[in-house]
Structure 1
Amino acid sequence: MNLKQLSQMLALSQTTVSRALNGYPEVNEETRRRVVDAAKRHGYRPNPSARRLATGKTGMIGYVLPTGTSVDIDPHFVEFLSGLGDYARAHELDLVLSPADADDQETTYRRIVANRQVDAVYISSPRPADRRIALLHGLGIPFIVHGRSDGHDFDYSYIDIDNEGAFHEATRLLLQLGHQRTALINGDTRETFAIHREQGVRRALAGSGLSLDGRHVLSMAMTEENGYRAARRLLEGADAPTAILCSSLIMALGVVRAARDLNVSIPGDVSLIAHDDVFPWLRPENFSVPLATTRSSIRAAGARVAERLAARISGLESEIRGEVWPVDVVVRGSVAGVPR
C-alpha cells in the first residue's frame, strides 16, 4: 500500500497522513493514532526518499562511533543502544552509526550535519567542557547528551542519573555501618559521571569528618580485569579498606574474584557496593554473595533519549531541558558492619 492508497482509505489528504506518521504537532492525537493504526494494519511503510522530499526529514537518528585500537566497545553502551533501538524500531526511526577516528570525531559530525544525513544526534560519555557539545550547539542540529558536561556557557538538553547523589548515599550507608576506610574503584575520571561519583564519596566522608585516602582511589576503564587488579592492589596494601565502592557491576566481578584469590571474605572482611546498570545477563542477586548496588537502568535511559530525540525532530519538544534521574540504593548481602 502506498501513501495515496492509505490516504484514500482514510479519507484524509496525503499531507495529513504524512504529517501524522511523522509526528507533526499540528495533527491531533486522535487522527494520528487512527493513521498509525491503519498503517500498521495494512503494512504501510513510508518510502525514505519520498518521506524526505515530503517532510524534509530523514527519519534517522545519528551517533558518531569512536573507533581505533584504543577503543573498546563498552557493554554499558551496548545496553544503552538496545534501549534506544527498541524505541526507534517501534516508532519508525532508524539509527545511523558513523565511525570516526577517536581523536577526530568533529570532522564526522560536521560531515553528517552538512550532508543532512540525520535529523538529530546524541552524544554519550561526555567530558567536562566537551567540544562535541559546543560543536553541535553551533551547528544547530537537534541533539541530546546522555550524561552531563560542566563548563559550557550555554544550556543544552541532556538525560543523566544522579551519580553524585548515588555514591553519596552508598557511602553514608557504609559510614552508618562503622566503615571509616572506604575505597573507590572508579571509571575514567576524564568523564563527568566518574567525577561526580568521586565527589559524592568525598562529600559523604567530609560530613563525618573523614577524607578519601589518595591510595584508596583508583580510576580506569570499567572492565572485569581492571576490577581484579584494582582490588588486589587495595586489599594487599597497607591499611586495606574495610569497604569498596565500585563504579560498575562488571568491575565488581573482578573485585569478587580478587577477594576469593586472597581468601578475603565478602562481607566478613570487606563490604562491597557496585553501581548496577540492570544488565539482563548479569544480575547482582546472583553473585556468590548477593551484591548491594546503586541501581539505574541504562536501557531505559537509551529509550528515553530516543523518545526525546523523536519529539525534538517532530517539534513536540522545543525547549532546552535537562533530566536527572534519582538512583536507588539496594542493600543486599555484600555489606555488613565493620570487621572487629
Structure 2
Amino acid sequence: MNLKQLSALLGLSQTTVSRALNGYADVSAATRARVLAAAEAHDYRPNTRARALATGRSGVIGHVIPRINTHAMVNPIFADFIAGAGETYSQAGYEMLISVVDDGEEEKAYRSMKRRGLVDGLVVSAPRMNDPRIALLDEIGLPYAVHGRATGADRPYCWVDVNNRRAFARATDFLIDLGHRRIGLINGMETMDFAHRRRRGYEEALRARGLAVDAALTRQDEMTEGYGWRAARELLALPDPPTAFLVSSVICMLGVRRAIEEAGLMLGRDVSAITHDDQLSYLRDDGPVPTFTATRSSVREAGQRLARMVIDRIDTPQVPHAHELLEAELIIGRSTGPAPR
C-alpha cells in the first residue's frame, strides 16, 4: 500500500496522513492515532526518500565505529546496546546507520554525514577523557547524545551513563567488609572515561577505610577473556597476592575464573571476585544464587534511553541538554566470601 491508497482509505489528504506519520504537532492526537493504526493494520511503510524530501529529515540515526574498535561489534555488550537502541528507533520510525571508518577518519565521516544529509542525529559511544568529538559535533551542528561521559569536556551535551565511580566504591566496600585488604583491580583502558571513574571509586573506598592504594595490584587493558586470565595470573603470582579482585567486565571475569582454577584455588573460598556484568542477554546469570557477585546494570536499557534522548534532541534542539545517571545494583553471588585466614 502506498501513501495515496492509505489516504483514500482514511478519507484524508496525503499531506495530513504524511504529517501524522511524521509526528507533526499540528495534527490532532485522535487523527494521528487513527492514521498510525491504519498504517499498522495495512503494513504501510513510507518511502524513505519521499519522506526525506517532504520533511527535510532522513529518518536515520548514525553510529560511527573506528576500525580499531570493530572488535567491539562482536562483543555482547555492544550487541545488547545496539539491540536496545534499535528497538527505540524502530518504534519511533527511525532506521540505524552503522558506519565503520578507518582509524583517524571519524571527523571526516561525521562531516560527510552532515553534508550529505545521511542522518538526523548521532549516538557517540565509548567516550574518552577530554573526548574531542564533543566539540566537533557541536561545530558540525548534528544533534547527538553520548553513551557515557567525557571527563574534561566542559561544554554541555546529552548523555546516559552508569554511576561507575559509585558502583566500584560499593563493591570495594563490600570486599573490605568481608575482611579483604589486598584487593586487585582488573580494569578497562583508563583512557576511557568509564574505566577512569571505576578506578576513582576503588581508590576512594580504599582510602576512606584507611587502606593504601597499591599500584602493583592494578591492571588496565582491553577487556577480553585473555586479558582477564593474564592479569589474574600475574597478580596471583605476586609474593603477597590479592585475596580479591574487582573486574571491569564479565568477559574478563571468565578469564579471571580460569586463572584462579588453574592455580588450584576455588573462586569464592580462596579468592573472591566481583565483576561489572552489564546484565547481558547472552550471558544472563538467572540461577537462584548467581555465579558471580556483580555490579549489575542493563546496557540494553541504556541503549533504549539513549536512543530516546537523541530523538528528543532532534525534535526539540532548543531545550536544555538531558542527563541520566543510572545506578548499578550490587548482586551477591557465589564468587565472594570472607577473606581466607
TM-score (norm 2): 0.94
Of 246-255 and 146-155, more deviation after overlay is shown by 146-155
Letter in 2 for 1:72: H
Give the root-mean-square deviation of aligned CA atoms. 2.0
Provide the residue aligned with 2:24 in structure 1: 24
The structural deviation recorded for 1:92 is 2.3
Determine helix, strand or coil for the equivalent of 1:281: helix
Q: Are 1:249 and 1:284, in contact at CA under 8 Å, matched by a contact in 2? A: no
Q: Distance in 1 between matches of 2:30 and 2:54?
A: 22
Q: Provide Cα deviations, 1:145-175, integer angstroms capped at 9, x if missing partner.
A: 0010021231000111101111111111111
The structural deviation recorded for 1:139 is 1.2
Q: Distance in 2 between matches of 1:163 and 1:144?
A: 18
What does residue range 147-296 of structure 1 map to in structure 2 within 5 Å? 147-284=148-285, 290-296=291-297
- What is the count of residue pairs matched by the alignment? 339
Q: Provide Cα deviations, 1:113-154, integer angstroms capped at 9, x if missing partner.
A: 111110001100001111111100111111000010021231
Of 85-94 and 264-273, more deviation after overlay is shown by 85-94
The structural deviation recorded for 1:338 is 1.0
Q: Provide Cα deviations, 1:32-60, integer angstroms capped at 9, x if missing partner.
A: 22221111111111111110111111100
TM-score (norm 1): 0.94
Q: Distance in 2 between matches of 1:67 and 1:32?
A: 42
Q: Are 1:88 and 1:94, in contact at CA under 8 Å, matched by a contact in 2? A: yes
The verdict on how the C-alpha distance between 1:30 and 1:165 changes in structure 2, with shifts beyond 3 A counting, is farther
The structural deviation recorded for 1:239 is 1.3
Letter in 1 for 2:23: G
Provide the residue aligned with 1:318 in structure 2: 319
Q: Distance in 2 between matches of 1:16 and 1:200?
A: 54
Structure 2 residues not aligned, in runs of 5+: none
What does residue range 35-184 of structure 1 map to in structure 2 within 5 Å? 35-68=35-68, 71-73=70-72, 74-184=75-185
Q: Are 1:21 and 1:36, in contact at CA under 8 Å, matched by a contact in 2? A: yes
Q: Are 2:309 and 2:322, in contact at CA under 8 Å, matched by a contact in 1? A: no
The verdict on how the C-alpha distance between 1:289 and 1:325 changes in structure 2, with shifts beyond 3 A counting, is closer
Q: Are 1:119 and 1:313, in contact at CA under 8 Å, matched by a contact in 2? A: yes
The verdict on how the C-alpha distance between 1:201 and 1:29 changes in structure 2, with shifts beyond 3 A counting, is farther
Q: Are 2:70 and 2:100, in contact at CA under 8 Å, matched by a contact in 1? A: no
The structural deviation recorded for 1:176 is 1.1
Structure 1 residues not aligned, in runs of 5+: none
Q: Are 1:61 and 1:95, in contact at CA under 8 Å, matched by a contact in 2? A: yes
Q: Are 2:289 and 2:334, in contact at CA under 8 Å, matched by a contact in 1? A: no
Q: Are 1:84 and 1:305, in contact at CA under 8 Å, matched by a contact in 2? A: yes
Q: State the identity as a percent.
A: 43
Q: Provide Cα deviations, 1:246-268, integer angstroms capped at 9, x if missing partner.
A: 00001000001111100111111
